[in-house]
Structure 1
Amino acid sequence: MITRRSLLKAGVLGTCSLCLGDTLEAWAEDVYTPEALKGMNQGFPVKEAMHYKKLEDLRVECELCPRKCTIADMERGYCGVRENRGGTYYTLVHSRVCALNVDPIEKKPLFHYLPGTKAYSLATAGCNVECKFCQNWQISQYRPEQIESIKLTPEDAAKDASMNGSKTIAFTYSEPVVFYEYMYDTARLGNERGLKSVMISNGYIQEKPLTELCRHLSAVKIDLKGFTEKFYQETCTGELKPVLNTLVTLKKIGIWFEIVMLVIPTLNDSEKELKDMCVWVKENLGADVPVHFTRFHPTYKIKNLPPTPVKTLEMARKIAIDTGLHFPYVGNVPGHEGENTYCPHCRNILIKRAGFSILENHLKENKCKNCDQFIPGVWT
């Protein structure tokens, strides 16, 4: 069993670069030989999954994400981290952490949630989609046996987070939906210690598990990859509609959430698509939902396209403002005026940012100091 110290020494813990947002540094090598794995990944708990049903012939159907995988005995679902063993479905990544770091909450990014505070951020291996532009593919697209990990129980995670001064536990980097049980248990225990929890997710989850989970979360950030089924099918091996359903469910639940769209040149950056998305957000979620238009950088399977022009992000932000959205942001462009939060009434700067740093904060509790306008979010 490797220790947290050895994992830090190996450089596997999540150290995120400014230009890529909530992502991990690439490892020098991403091929793990049997020799390298020898002696690792031992002693991790195997826990029964929470959302599935048993079928005939020892098969099971997963009821966690929209894929609804049907899994034969001794096989795994699409995510590669949940396994059918004799008709009982198990998660293989409970307490099996492969990325761990203390981040500014702005890195997630969450801009209307406890600005200037730290988030104890963790992940396990696995994902339930495959985005060709994934910035954390070294952990999201691998099975748990292939990734160097440490055993970190929910109890230890909550204790460690509270001791180091973090206000929040963030489930992030890969896809928290696939380590649902671990996230659920850790968030619940974190709450008992006075810690909030947030999920940084692709939103590919069914309504029932999402609703149950949100009882223990304080906020959610959803990556809305694009706004066409074509983009989701061809670039993310997924579907758009379930993600839109997740956003509507979050609105219905009443939990705070923010949206991020990574704008990729020629793939999801047309004026029509951006306009359609902004109109849908306003009509279905309301004008106060923050929407972050984030700069793409070439990675994983999309290295033939350039970084997103800043003018494209500015166009997206203007479309959002013209549509009537109150809090559109430009992301991954440190120092840009689009990083700031402005009062939708008097237009004064409420929170001035530079990258992940808060330079000025003119909020008085949850209101604009200048005009007393209510500003939605989780501020205290």
Structure 2
Amino acid sequence: MAGISCRHIKKQYGDLEVVEDFSLEVADREFVVFLGPSGCGKSTILRMLAGLEHITGGELLIGGQRMNDAEPGDRGIAMVFQNYALYPHMTIKDNIAFGLRRLKTPEQEINQRVDHVTGLLGLGQYLERKPTALSGGQQQRVAIARAMIKTPDVFLFDEPLSNLDAKLRAHMRVEIAKLHKDLRTTSVYVTHDQMEAMTLADRIVLLNAGKIEQIGTPEEIYSTPETLFVAGFIGTPAMNFLNLTARRRDTGWQLSGRGIELNIAATEFMLRDGQDVVLGLRPSRIRPVDQGFCGPILQGVVSLVEFHGDSVLASFTFKDIDVASLMPAQQRPNEGDCLNFGFLEEDVHLFDAASGTSLRR
């Protein structure tokens, strides 16, 4: 078993606390992604797991064993870095086998294990080349092979795809997903790219300023964000936000402000009369509708249309507020068109304006 248990872990540099009370349980064979903006603490936490950073407070267990003071080589982990960290003077085979040779592993076993991992990663034909003769994606596969060959209990990935171009990132994302299904090794993966997190993770740990904002499956994080930060960070294009005030009415609630009046039942939310709220709507849930649409309507003038291939992102102005609508390219409006944009109440997210927390029951 190679589960990871982080119990109230902290990290300080002098008086500066960069990770505050981090607690997380990672199950054996689970793929967990740390996601968040630059400076949120995700790489620092990963380096504490690896033993490359001292843990200021709390307790770290890997496979049930306390690892706070254990050397990196004694933790049963292998780490894949952002910059590949390959030895330029060595062949690909020697780079992959380097760790085993330091452990005085018999050469016959080394050859067998090199053949196995390079077969899985499609590197067999490159074994006698030097790293400079390989593409970025091939070099990253070499770095993964070098980690794999040690048969670790835990894989740690520190933004391994950020140096690759978009097409290669997409390809390597698929390769890593396939590799995890084949090996079923406990994996912790750090990224600021939400697409990587959404496609790879069993669970996402979304971090902000050294704290956990939300933990959940990709579907949970996207569909039921628990805070305004999560709602704004997850999803492309970004969620629309309207600052309003909730007023109780006989038929439900009226959300109003800046000339806006939206009537909804709001049975899924816990509201107080007079409460300042933030209404969130994903652009994909706002579409042009006819005047007879049975639901809230935002009427606005289209100010910008961005062509995305199969879809277009139309920005329109509603009561001096910019709102975005993502729609099929066949429904593409023209700039200057005055249209009715409707949405369903089931697609509404409501957050308390003061605390930023979700008001969903």
Work out which structure has the larger RCO, using CA pairs closer than 8 Å and 6 or more positions apart in sequence. 2
Q: Which has the larger radius of gyration?
A: 2
Per the normalisation by structure 2, the TM-score is 0.27
User: Counting strand residues as a fraction of each chain, which structure ranks higher?
Assistant: 2
